Structure 1
Amino acid sequence: MKTFPENFLWGAATSAPQSEGASRIDGKSDSTWDKWFEMAPERFNDNQGPQITSDMYHQYKEDVQRMKAIGMNSFRTSISWTRLLPDGQHLNPKAVAFYRDYFQELKANGIEPIINLFHFDMPWWLMEKGGWESRESVDTFAYYAKTAFQAFGDLVQNWTTFNEPMVHIECSYLQGYHYPAIHDFKKAVQAGYHTLMAHIKAVSEFRKLQIENAKIGILLNISPAYAKSDAPEDLRAKEIADHLNIFSFLDTTVLGQVPDFLIEILAANQLLPKTVAGDKALIANNPVDFVGMNYYQPFRVQAKLDGKQPAEDPSDLYASYVWPNRRMNEYRGWEIYPEALYDVAMLMKTKYHNIPWFVSENGMGVADEARFADKTGMIQDDYRIAFMQEHLVQLQRGIEAGSHCFGYHAWTFADCWSWLNGYRNRYGFYSVDLADHQKRTVKKSGLWFKTLTENNGFEATEFE
């Protein structure tokens, strides 16, 4: 029996823009997603935009009961910046009432809310001023954060600032998957620095309020780099990849300093961002209380022998490679490598002073899941159960080795909208029927999760 610590947080995660819907009602202003869908709907899978998504805005009370039914004792979601502060300055009373009732409903049913502030939903009014490229975004976000802490601090004990900041940086400024969908390494670094400083100033505002028993953290996507060989050039590629993609935010938010090696790499490639006097002290004085780690896949790297200098893309600094023994989730094109979760646990223990952390996302996206339904209509998602069990075996190994992990959150509770991909891949414990008012039906994985939470563990001999 693989068992977990007492009071372990078993739950799931989603975000406001991916689950709430109601994107243009009750005072909410537009995010970049609302406007981008309006401007270029053909870029979105099957014409699926952010208007309705999974409709948790109207179904949250019933959804909380569904969470309770599968044994969840915690739930991570986000606040919509454009719903709470439609113009960036004035509170929307309908938003305050909605979120307060939402959070109270969770707590009344024994489900601890973990509330995030930004999950890729940049306000359009701020995007028109340059978004994360503009230093104005730092103080604007800090004000939003302070407003949220004041409005809901009596209900929320666990706060996070950003979900996967590297994703909105890369997808917006290098990969073309988020607005403004441009390719500019220099702008990506500057946007990343402003995101970091927005986080730091939000933490500073949180500390000033001294909310009793409350803690604050950040949610980071972690894809540990594994070098193709022990050759010095491959190991250097791994070091560069880890510093750009992992240590850039982990070192600054946990240890309070920007890594020297990262500064050297950026300087050598003429990528250093513009900073402001006092930033370094702010970073040093505002570490987080805990970290959420989103893990889906590893990152296999090797030396890049013909990269441009100065680099115009991260791929000029290191190259990816295909591990011959890999297993794949073909629907996402992602390698399945549960062992990395143990490595993440050890990283947190050894490099980051064993700071409290939790798995804030882990899950398996699969397309056309309806084909796996049985005669009753329940989706038999054994592949998802196996995926989670394999990862939980490795997580439990890390906890036994002394890593301070306090929870595991699956992505996601109910199938949710996923940016340009819409509903192409499904991840939920509950299926969502878009043709029938977003009707929820529990999957086999939901029943498995209930047993997991009741036992605070599971039999896992077949995965050892």
Structure 2
Amino acid sequence: MQLTIPKDFILGAASSAWQTEGWKGKKEGQDSYLDSWYKNEKFVWHNGYGPAVATNFMEQYQDDVDMMQKIHLTHYRTSINWSRFMIDYEKGVVDEDYAQHIDDVLDALIAAGVEPMLCLEHYELPTFLLEKYDGWSSRKVVDFYVQYAAEVFKRYHHKVKYWFTFNEPIVIQTRCYLDAIRWPHEQNTNKWMQWNYHKVLATAKVVELFKSKGYEGQIGCVLNPEMVYARSSSPEDQKAAEMYDLFFNRIYLDPLVHGSYPEVFWKVCKEEGLEFTYIQEDLDCIAQNTVDFLGINQYYPKRVRAPRYQWNNQAPFHPEKFYETFDLPGRQMNNSRGWEIYPKLLFDMAMYIKERYNNIPWLITENGMGRENEEQFMDASGVVQDDYRIDFIGKHLSWLLRAVEQGANCKGYMLWAFTDCVSPMNAFKNRYGLVRIELNQERTRTLKKSAAWYQQLIDQRILEIEDDEAVK
């Protein structure tokens, strides 16, 4: 069976600054949160690999761009590393060496016919601001971020037409302050919500700035809402799914798209004593400056059921008071990553956005297949035969294309990732790229089988699937 890919439907790939650049050329005081976490807990990163070398994109970006051109890639999403862009974060003094690097990368992409899409913060909060102001706990950090964004727009607006304020803005504080499973392991639910709120506010202020300058292009935010499935049709299980959706999806989607938080959110915050600082002026700013479009990262479904046990009221509030994770029996798994594989989630997410969020323009900004020990799949010529990745992309993309046929305003699909890259804790354990990175001094790059397949997809605009099961 064949599915036609619309001519203007983006087929791209993504990465980020901190996961590729490495530390060469970095100046004292330019650490990000990720750099500091790695330095403080190197032992939790697989085999000790982390952002120190990464893929050495700082020096080898042209190699990657050449490979993008070779497979006819049309769009590439990455980030500017806020912690490296500035020498003085408070005064807005720019590191001109790093700023020139960004210019050089953009010029190389454009020369190769690749449209750059830039994110202003992909977990790259400067450590200086974390230590001095407690990061996004402080309203001042919102102002520093807007100052940083203003400088970035001024320098690169003529080269970049797609902008994102954050990548997965909920993740860092959820891991660090809600679940306390990552450095600095501080459980503080109120801080978790303050960080969420300030990132929503920061997005609104940057949108306001972008529009006020009359820059050509669009500005949005990359979110990672989880497609939530209740275990059953029971009211109790359905309620569990609604509450998970509220605390991990709607606390960003509603204010960024609709301009306000849902009433049920304020009600539950009051009942549970979840407190954070906000003022009406900022809520007005959020209401008046919604995003143009969304990036959506999707990997696996979230399945929940009603909790089976009484919540311990002596424990700090956590949204899991209202739900319990449920593992579907017989589910297909990516055992390397420990994630369920459920391609239909892209169709369901597309319908969720269409029905609840005004069918706002959006695109998949991350979806992909991480696999451990990929070298076992190398052929005699050294090419990784990653048919599992081709199968994964094909099935997910087929569901996405069916959603587009049914009116979903999805503009494209961007694979995570263009090259193998460092991930938090996972390091290089699971490989995601169309391009393999050898962990030698040269960081040698080779195209995998999936790269040739993706090129064919880009060129021919036809997706071949074995049967119609993927789109029933």
Please confirm whether the aligned pair reaches a TM-score higher than 0.5, indicating the same fold: yes
Asked if 1:166 is matched to 2:170, the reply is yes
- CA deviations on 1:293-334 (whole Å, 9 max, x unpaired) are 000011101112422348622222210111123111111111
In the alignment, the residues of structure 1 paired with residue 22 and residue 29 of structure 2 have an alpha-carbon distance, to the nearest angstrom, of: 11
Deviation at 1:461, TM superposition (A): 3.5
Counterpart of 1:82? 83
Matches within 5 A, 1:440-455: 440-455=445-460
Asked if 1:184 is matched to 2:185, the reply is no
SS in 2 for 1:100: helix
Deviation at 1:272, TM superposition (A): 3.2
Tell me whether 363-372 or 190-199 shows the greater mean CA deviation: 190-199
- CA deviations on 1:11-45 (whole Å, 9 max, x unpaired) are 11100000111355267711122223223322222
In the alignment, the residues of structure 1 paired with residue 29 and residue 343 of structure 2 have an alpha-carbon distance, to the nearest angstrom, of: 40
In the alignment, the residues of structure 2 paired with residue 26 and residue 311 of structure 1 have an alpha-carbon distance, to the nearest angstrom, of: 39
SS in 2 for 1:7: coil
Q: Which amino acid aligns with 1:342?
A: F
Counterpart of 2:319? 314
2:5, 2:463 within 8 Å by CA — same for their partners in 1?
A: no
Listed as ranges, the gaps of 5+ residues in structure 1 are: none
Asked if 1:139 is matched to 2:143, the reply is yes
- CA deviations on 1:231-269 (whole Å, 9 max, x unpaired) are 111111111011111111111111111111122222221
Asked if 1:103 is matched to 2:106, the reply is yes
SS in 2 for 1:11: strand
In the alignment, the residues of structure 1 paired with residue 97 and residue 235 of structure 2 have an alpha-carbon distance, to the nearest angstrom, of: 58
Asked if 1:278 is matched to 2:304, the reply is no
Deviation at 1:177, TM superposition (A): 4.9
Counterpart of 2:97? 94
Counterpart of 2:125? 122
Asked if 1:15 is matched to 2:16, the reply is yes
Counterpart of 2:200? 196
In the alignment, the residues of structure 1 paired with residue 169 and residue 34 of structure 2 have an alpha-carbon distance, to the nearest angstrom, of: 17
- CA deviations on 1:369-409 (whole Å, 9 max, x unpaired) are 11111111111111111111110110011000011111100
In the alignment, the residues of structure 2 paired with residue 173 and residue 150 of structure 1 have an alpha-carbon distance, to the nearest angstrom, of: 34
Counterpart of 2:413? 408
In the alignment, the residues of structure 2 paired with residue 56 and residue 177 of structure 1 have an alpha-carbon distance, to the nearest angstrom, of: 29
In the alignment, the residues of structure 2 paired with residue 423 and residue 176 of structure 1 have an alpha-carbon distance, to the nearest angstrom, of: 23
- CA 1:109 to 1:438, structure 2 compared with 1: closer, same or farther past 3 Å? same
Counterpart of 2:56? 55
Deviation at 1:221, TM superposition (A): 0.6
Counterpart of 1:292? 295
Deviation at 1:276, TM superposition (A): 2.1
SS in 1 for 2:425: helix
1:348 to 340, 350, 353: 353
The count of residues paired between Structure 1 and Structure 2 equals: 463
In the alignment, the residues of structure 1 paired with residue 100 and residue 349 of structure 2 have an alpha-carbon distance, to the nearest angstrom, of: 39
1:174, 1:188 within 8 Å by CA — same for their partners in 2?
A: yes
SS in 2 for 1:118: coil
Counterpart of 1:367? 372
Deviation at 1:137, TM superposition (A): 1.6
In the alignment, the residues of structure 1 paired with residue 332 and residue 385 of structure 2 have an alpha-carbon distance, to the nearest angstrom, of: 21
2:243, 2:319 within 8 Å by CA — same for their partners in 1?
A: no
In the alignment, the residues of structure 1 paired with residue 102 and residue 119 of structure 2 have an alpha-carbon distance, to the nearest angstrom, of: 12
Deviation at 1:179, TM superposition (A): 3.6
Tell me whether 341-350 or 23-32 shows the greater mean CA deviation: 23-32
Listed as ranges, the gaps of 5+ residues in structure 2 are: none
SS in 2 for 1:198: helix
- CA 1:446 to 1:47, structure 2 compared with 1: closer, same or farther past 3 Å? same
Counterpart of 1:156? 160
SS in 2 for 1:97: helix
In the alignment, the residues of structure 2 paired with residue 326 and residue 240 of structure 1 have an alpha-carbon distance, to the nearest angstrom, of: 23
Deviation at 1:161, TM superposition (A): 0.4
Q: What is the CA RMSD across the aligned residues, in angstroms?
A: 1.5
SS in 2 for 1:235: helix
SS in 1 for 2:142: helix
Tell me whether 346-355 or 373-382 shows the greater mean CA deviation: 346-355
- CA 1:28 to 1:108, structure 2 compared with 1: closer, same or farther past 3 Å? farther
Q: Which amino acid aligns with 1:33?
A: L
1:32, 1:179 within 8 Å by CA — same for their partners in 2?
A: no
1:31, 1:82 within 8 Å by CA — same for their partners in 2?
A: yes
1:383 to 385, 388, 399: 388
- CA deviations on 1:181-221 (whole Å, 9 max, x unpaired) are 32222221111111211111111111111112x11000011
* TM-score, structure 2 normalization: 0.95
In the alignment, the residues of structure 2 paired with residue 169 and residue 390 of structure 1 have an alpha-carbon distance, to the nearest angstrom, of: 32
* TM-score, structure 1 normalization: 0.96
Counterpart of 1:65? 66
- CA deviations on 1:421-457 (whole Å, 9 max, x unpaired) are 2111110001100114111111111111011111123
Counterpart of 1:35? 36
Counterpart of 2:233? 230
SS in 1 for 2:215: coil
Q: Percent identity?
A: 37
